[in-house]
Amino acid sequence: MESPDFSIVGLIGRTGSLHVVDSLNAVARVLEAHSLKIVVDDSTRSILPELNCEVVDRTLLGTTCDLIIVVGGDGSLLSVGRDLAHTGVPVLGVNRGGLGFLADISPESISRKLAEVLSGEFVIENHFLLSADLVRDATIINSSLALNDVVVHLGGMSRIMEFSVWVDNQFVYDQRSDGLIISSPTGSTAYSLSAGGPIMHPNLDAILLVPMFPHTLTSRPLVVPSVSQIKVVVGQSAEVSCDSQIDFVLDTGDEVRVSKADHPLRLVYSLGHSFYDSCRSKLDWGSRLGGDASG
């Protein structure tokens, strides 16, 4: 049954993988079976030269399509989130990467799960993004969104950096550590988790600050309301990274200002999706010697 909500569907695929091409073709077959118009960006067209579709600039996909399907890993969804969240278009992920916390559909279930979604059997979760501004001499010189995290660090240099943190113009602390991770709930299962931060349910309306290897045992992760305005002032040249995909260089005294972005990414999940199921399967929760952890 064709869904009345979806008539034009955008396809975005990660380049450089034959597995991604196989899954893109599987998705396209389902869309064609439902008589839906397919739209792709230039890079996806380059790996699907035979597909009957329309090609538009990626920045226009959000306003052209009723649904975007991303085939790749969570990294692909991070990029799409930054580019298209402001349009409000719902986004569905097919996982051809690693853990795949954001991408809901596995390659072997494309035909069944995608058909269910197109028939209206889905839910939408809003995942808010972070907005990061780099401020030098009271002037914003660079900006970026981040779906997972904004990280202040020294790049490839393995030495301690110094910085100061304010929340809503209230001084929090001076810090000596390898850096600071400012994470959304979505990003709590990414880099923040590796640095010892807590796992946050994606529906939580809060921002997480996680020091990276601090030089004090009492410096712990801090959770603040999502309406908070966070400011980090660096004491030496450093870098700021958004989703580990966009990087800016910081000079001594520069400020990184982070707040909740205006528009969330609307992620589509098939019915029955559970964040806790994802944690159990991808983080190996509940494993016990001897097998089944259910009884």
Q: How far apart are the first and last CA of the chain?
A: 39
d(CA 21, CA 199): 33
* Same-domain status, 20 and 86: yes
Which one-letter DSSP state was computed for residue 237?
A: S
* Same-domain status, 75 and 145: no
Q: Is residue 18 domain-resident?
A: yes
**Size of the chain in residues:** 295
* Same-domain status, 235 and 172: yes
**What is the number of domains present in the chain?**
2
Neighbouring residues of 71: CB distance < 8 A, sequence distance ≥ 6:
11, 12, 13, 14, 20, 23, 24, 27, 93, 94, 96
Let me know: does 130 contact 232? Beta carbons within 8 Å.
no
Q: Is residue 274 domain-resident?
A: yes
Q: Is residue 1 domain-resident?
A: no
* Same-domain status, 191 and 236: yes
d(CA 100, CA 256): 29
* Same-domain status, 143 and 236: yes
* Same-domain status, 255 and 177: yes
Count of other CB atoms within 10 angstroms of residue 118: 22
Q: Which residue has the tokens 């969570």?
A: 74
For residue 243, the model assigns a pLDDT of: 97
pLDDT tens by residue, the chain, 295 residues: 334 589 999 999 998 888 899 999 999 999 999 999 999 999 999 999 999 999 999 999 999 999 999 999 899 999 999 999 999 999 999 998 777 789 889 999 999 999 999 999 999 999 999 999 999 999 999 999 999 999 999 987 677 999 999 999 999 999 999 999 999 999 999 999 999 999 999 999 999 999 999 988 888 999 999 999 999 999 999 999 999 999 999 999 999 999 999 999 999 998 888 899 889 888 888 665 455 545 4
The whole model's pTM is what? 0.92
Let me know: does 243 contact 147? Beta carbons within 8 Å.
yes
Strands 149-153 and 238-242, bridge-based pairing: antiparallel
* Same-domain status, 110 and 168: no
Let me know: does 10 contact 68? Beta carbons within 8 Å.
yes
d(CA 283, CA 194): 12
Q: Catalytic amino acids?
A: 74
Which residue type, as a one-letter code, is found at position 253?
Answer: G
Q: Which residue has the tokens 């700021």?
A: 240
Let me know: does 129 contact 263? Beta carbons within 8 Å.
yes
Count of other CB atoms within 10 angstroms of residue 56: 17
* CATH code (residue 85): 3.40.50.10330
Q: Is residue 135 domain-resident?
A: yes
Which one-letter DSSP state was computed for residue 128?
A: P
Neighbouring residues of 287: CB distance < 8 A, sequence distance ≥ 6:
293
d(CA 266, CA 243): 18
* Same-domain status, 150 and 234: yes
Structural domain boundaries enclosing 205: 130-260
